[in-house]
Structure 1
Amino acid sequence: MKIVMVSLDTLRASRLGCYGYGKPTSPHLDRIASEGALFEKAFAADIPTEVAHTGIFTGKVGLTTGVVSHGSELAHLPKSAEWMPSLLRAAGFATAAVDNLYQLKEWFARGYRYYINSVGGNRWIDGRTVNDLALPWIEQHRDESFFLFLHYWDAHTPYLPPESYVPDFYEAGRDPYDPRNRSMEGAYNHAAYPFFKHHHYDLVGPVTDSAYYDALYDAEIRYLDDRLKELDDGLERLGIRDDTLLVLFGDHGESLTEHDIYWDHCGLYDQTVHVPVIVRWPGRIEAGRRVRGLVQQVDLLPTILEAVRREAPQGIDASKLADPAGLDGRSLWPAIGGETEGTHETVYLSECAWQAARGVRTDRYKFIRTYDSGPFRRPPRELYDLAADPEETVNLAESDPERADRFERDLNEWVRRTLGGREDPMERQLSQAGLPFRRRIEQILRGAGLDWEEWRRDPRRERFDRAASRGN
């Protein structure tokens, strides 16, 4: 038995053809979805990258593990925490990763017999690099039962796809640098601009058309899709495609100017928390299955463990793969088999990097409670009727306060119940260290001789650029 688990960093579900997008971003992903099961309403309970992957490999949400913040020195996962690669290795799988999350936290290398760090001399990682490292390893271990984790970063900023990929997504004859186009002003004059100036904007050039950034994002997805086809072709060439459980997921999505978020992944809106989850296992999963109920990323761990128990591969001690105690995730197999619509009626959401907020997502409603808005301007409470307002543009918290109150009570009770008397890690983060990404902006501003509060009141690009040039 082979398990290939693929993280598609920063991949927004609604930008894929199999999730309804009209542009040709994902022909091979669409094919994989047609050969297996696609989860239409899959959500990242914790964002962004660090907390999302911690949840995926533990099967527990951040409030359970205590890891709720990305880039925080306070975050710690005890070595006693049960971890998917460690469980699989103990059961007899050869375990490997092509990944660089070890650069963030040490626990991301736990459990791997082979950890191939994909980080290079530059910050960015090309999907071709991942394949160049992964495919030889697969060939060397083709006759073993293995678990391989692959982490592709192509859809993450900076959007720098090969030029040949861009024309399919940007209108011919349109000038991305037209000085008359002012659609980038919101991005360039945002309080987060000092953080994004280099790897968002300087690397791409003096773009004036925000639609060009959207086109670059789509082009990156198409480039990623081609790399996934290379991977899949490699499995076929080696004769192990049909023996491989292939699990693809987005760790979070991406906001493309919505909600005052410019090509980044914060905010508990569906642009960021609605992620693709696609599972293919020839002969075991019905082709073309579409699961319409709510599921979340932490469901992947119990799903994979159950798959091994079902398959009982030779040489693997499946008795060591009982579900760990205290899981927040639930196996997706009943939903895959059509016995249930999903795994959860309610998904609870959390972020603590750019902003500190928690939310409640049901099939129809989204409630968000913001505790610290960071560089953004947010009301303390937001309520959206997703059936009438799928883009989450009409906040009903004041016009429907009773419903908002019910959601807030439900959220508070979930927090209380999940913590079970333990300290709230979000409160600890805010009281002891503050928001990690706000601190990064403050450091940049100090280097330019600017004050955070003053900058937040008047965040003009020219003002920062002048100050930064004087500092240099």
Structure 2
Amino acid sequence: LRARLGAAVATVLALALLMVVGGARPAVVKAAVAYSGLGGPIAQSVRRGIDFDHDGFSPVLGGGDCDDLDASVHPGAREIPDDGIDQNCVGGDATTAARPVDDVGFVAPPASLPPDFDVVLITIDTLRADHLGTYGYGRDTSPRLDALAAEGALFVNGWAHAPSTRYSMPAILTGRLPLDVYYDYGVSGWPGILPKATTIAEILRDRGLHTGAVVNYHYFDPYRHMDQGIDPGDYDNSNARLHQGSDPAHTKGSSSREQTDHAIKWLDTLGGQRFFLWVHYYDPHHEYERHREVPQFGDAPMDLYDNEIRWTDSQIGRLFDDLKRRGVWDKTIVVVTGDHGEGFGEHDVTHHGYHLYAAQTKVPFIIKVPGQPPRRITTPVGHVDILPTLADLAGAAPSTEMMGRSLVDLLDGSAPPDRDRVIFQQLSYENHHEMRAAVDQRCHLIYNVSPHTSWEAYRIDVDPAEVHDVSDQPGPCDTVKAAFARWYDGDQIPPGAAEALLPARPTVARELDVDLGREVRLLGVALPAEIQAGATFDVTWTFEARGKLDDGWKVFAHFEQVGGRGRFTGDHEPARPFA
């Protein structure tokens, strides 16, 4: 016993020494955590002990804190541009010029597109790209989707921006990155979509298409407003009853047959009207069911998952057959994607939801545009590209709200492949579970922000399974990391920041110096001395921010008429400063 205890103590000390000495090398810490069984607790203990500013982040052993004497500086901190401080420890101090200006890339729709085109959007839950035949899978899981890819455009590098439905579906529907969607947090459970968001259905309805949706999970209940833009009475979530289970990670039941049945019935009601139809297929989601109507692959979890894919594929094929029977197939744009993937032990991860690895986020991406020849497109694309692509094809105007770009120039062959295009990913959960990522054609870079800060990089062009972490090695991933740093900083800068932020304390005509809590002081208010009834006028507020502001802080301004003169009264509710 004494010998064993001595060996254990020696092991602990050796690991601690190894990690402290090799603390500058992330690979050392990762190896200790992964293989020792003790490295994780040791690293956590050392990080907790070396955190002088008590912000929860350490400068050693992957803690990531780039200034351990300033609690406002740490991984994930809110970046303040142009102040000479790198608050989030990525890419140096941000500048207002770093805020990205999105090029939505609209071009003229191809001449081959019929003016009376229809649109079908198919989203498939939990479908990873590398389990379809068209992406090189050895099993015959997807003959109908393979045939669609052979007729349309197959995007080889299609990515979800997040690994779960709650983040991916809003990104698909609104064309905004998951953490930039206009969410309604006033609903119970997962957030919904606010009316200020613009959806695919709204855009296409405004272009004259009758809009409908056939969905099948309680997440899509109307109170979350996923039906925004769907014509009244044409949003069908009745098949949600077929998937039972209080834990969203483990639901039982099957609905693919019923989804196609309901979609066909909805098409029967149109009477020849142009349409946009969104159908969501849920069956590949765990728990996996066995479908004896289609080929069997075995009894292991992956075998049953593949069987679910084959069953779903057969039911999607029935919908395609119905469109052909109606004579509208040749004038219908068809978009197919998975909302996220599924893990089967890669990186010791099963299922999905909490990681950004390719197994969880690389998804099928197929678009058929009438009259266009088949294409195999290598340019990386993401879910936020679907809305601008459909808007462009429909002749709608581009919008600064769109965070993706139109793919029409790739679909019609007028643009060359762009291997350097970078797709960004976001993940944020409770308890400081934060990840961000960037991926181009060659490299997938993952930044684990918290709770344990680290970088990972995988050469997906030669290592598609993401087995070998090359974050410590120079190469193509350096270019992706530079692009990531620009995006990561720029994404934190709100619109209008360049105009609103002042480089120095200004001189105001009438000083007020009113404290609005500890972090914000109102320096002054400028407004006209005389205001005529019915006239418009400009008011300028000048604030000084003295610290980090929590989300949700607001200032309310009230104007009162006193003796025929306008008087400004400032108030704040709740009693906290402006954000």
Q: Does the aligned pair in 1 maintain the 2:152–2:366 contact within 8 Å?
A: yes
Q: Aligned to 1:356, what secondary structure does the other structure show?
A: strand
Q: 1:345 aligns with which of 421, 442, 454?
A: 421
- Counterpart position of 1:139: 268
How do residues 147-162 of structure 1 correspond to structure 2 at under 5 angstroms?
A: 147-162=276-291
Q: Does the aligned pair in 1 maintain the 2:153–2:367 contact within 8 Å?
A: yes
Where relative contact order (Cα < 8 A, 6+ residues apart) is larger, the structure is 1
Q: Does the aligned pair in 1 maintain the 2:442–2:476 contact within 8 Å?
A: no
Q: Aligned to 2:262, what secondary structure does the other structure show?
A: helix
| Residue 87 in structure 1 maps to residue 162 in structure 2 | no
Q: Distance in 2 between the 1:86 and 1:293 partners?
A: 28
Q: Distance in 2 between the 1:145 and 1:252 partners?
A: 30
Q: Distance in 2 between the 1:428 and 1:97 partners?
A: 37
Q: Distance in 2 between the 1:403 and 1:37 partners?
A: 27
Q: Aligned to 2:283, what secondary structure does the other structure show?
A: coil
- Counterpart position of 1:268: 356
Q: Does the aligned pair in 2 maintain the 1:43–1:347 contact within 8 Å?
A: yes
Q: 1:307 aligns with which of 393, 404, 413?
A: 393
- Counterpart position of 2:340: 252
Q: CA offset at residue 85 of structure 1?
A: 0.9
- Counterpart position of 2:236: 116
What letter matches 2:398 in structure 1? D
Q: 1:54 aligns with which of 170, 192, 196?
A: 170
Q: CA offset at residue 418 of structure 1?
A: 2.1
What letter matches 2:470 in structure 1? L
Q: CA offset at residue 163 of structure 1?
A: 3.5
- Counterpart position of 1:39: 155
Q: 1:357 aligns with which of 431, 435, 439?
A: 435
Q: Distance in 2 between the 1:74 and 1:119 partners?
A: 16
What letter matches 1:24 in structure 2? D
Q: Does the aligned pair in 1 maintain the 2:434–2:450 contact within 8 Å?
A: yes
Q: CA offset at residue 115 of structure 1?
A: 0.5
Q: Distance in 1 between the 2:494 and 2:173 partners?
A: 24
Q: CA offset at residue 46 of structure 1?
A: 2.6
Change in 2 beyond 3 A, CA 1:108/1:20? same
How do residues 9-408 of structure 1 correspond to structure 2 at under 5 angstroms?
A: 9-65=125-181, 73=189, 75=191, 77-99=193-215, 100=217, 101-103=219-221, 106-113=224-231, 114-117=234-237, 118-120=239-241, 122-123=243-244, 124-165=253-294, 167=296, 169-170=297-298, 212-283=300-371, 285-286=372-373, 288-309=374-395, 321-338=396-413, 339-342=415-418, 345-353=421-429, 355-372=433-450, 380-397=454-471, 399-400=472-473
| Residue 418 in structure 1 maps to residue 486 in structure 2 | no
How many residues in Structure 1 have an aligned counterpart in Structure 2? 365
Q: Distance in 1 between the 2:404 and 2:184 partners?
A: 16
Q: CA offset at residue 277 of structure 1?
A: 1.0
Change in 2 beyond 3 A, CA 1:126/1:401? same
Change in 2 beyond 3 A, CA 1:342/1:116? farther
Q: Does the aligned pair in 1 maintain the 2:122–2:279 contact within 8 Å?
A: yes
Change in 2 beyond 3 A, CA 1:220/1:27? same
Q: Aligned to 1:329, what secondary structure does the other structure show?
A: coil
Q: Distance in 1 between the 2:340 and 2:351 partners?
A: 12
| 1:41-63 residue CA offsets vs partner (Å, 9 max, x unmatched) | 11112331121111112111124
Q: Distance in 1 between the 2:477 and 2:406 partners?
A: 31
Q: Does the aligned pair in 1 maintain the 2:182–2:197 contact within 8 Å?
A: no
Q: Aligned to 1:390, what secondary structure does the other structure show?
A: coil
What letter matches 1:145 in structure 2? R
Q: Distance in 2 between the 1:31 and 1:303 partners?
A: 22
Percent of aligned pairs with the same amino acid: 30
Q: Distance in 1 between the 2:192 and 2:405 partners?
A: 24
Q: CA offset at residue 402 of structure 1?
A: 9.5
Q: Aligned to 1:119, what secondary structure does the other structure show?
A: helix
What letter matches 2:120 in structure 1? V
Q: Aligned to 2:438, what secondary structure does the other structure show?
A: strand
Q: Does the aligned pair in 2 maintain the 1:63–1:419 contact within 8 Å?
A: no
Report which stretch shifted further, 43-52 or 217-226.
43-52
Q: Distance in 2 between the 1:232 and 1:121 partners?
A: 23
Q: Distance in 1 between the 2:141 and 2:484 partners?
A: 36
Q: Aligned to 2:225, what secondary structure does the other structure show?
A: helix
Q: Distance in 2 between the 1:371 and 1:416 partners?
A: 14
Q: CA offset at residue 21 of structure 1?
A: 0.6
Change in 2 beyond 3 A, CA 1:428/1:233? farther
Q: CA offset at residue 11 of structure 1?
A: 0.8
What letter matches 2:347 in structure 1? H
How do residues 424-463 of structure 1 correspond to structure 2 at under 5 angstroms?
A: none
Higher Cα radius of gyration = 2
Q: Which has the higher helix share?
A: 1
Q: Does the aligned pair in 2 maintain the 1:250–1:275 contact within 8 Å?
A: yes
- Counterpart position of 2:564: none
Q: Does the aligned pair in 2 maintain the 1:10–1:265 contact within 8 Å?
A: no
Q: CA offset at residue 379 of structure 1?
A: 6.6
Change in 2 beyond 3 A, CA 1:231/1:403? closer
Q: CA offset at residue 415 of structure 1?
A: 2.4
Gaps of 5+ in 2: 1-116, 245-252, 496-548, 552-579
TM-score, reference length from structure 1: 0.71
| 1:219-270 residue CA offsets vs partner (Å, 9 max, x unmatched) | 0010011001110111111121112111111111111111111233542111
Q: Does the aligned pair in 2 maintain the 1:335–1:342 contact within 8 Å?
A: no
Q: Distance in 1 between the 2:290 and 2:198 partners?
A: 38
Q: CA offset at residue 37 of structure 1?
A: 0.9
| 1:337-384 residue CA offsets vs partner (Å, 9 max, x unmatched) | 2223159611111122495211111221221111346xxxx7722122
Q: Distance in 1 between the 2:358 and 2:224 partners?
A: 30
Q: Distance in 2 between the 1:31 and 1:109 partners?
A: 30
Q: Distance in 2 between the 1:357 and 1:259 partners?
A: 16
Q: Distance in 2 between the 1:272 and 1:261 partners?
A: 9
What letter matches 1:415 in structure 2? Y
Q: Distance in 2 between the 1:91 and 1:164 partners?
A: 40
Change in 2 beyond 3 A, CA 1:24/1:428? farther
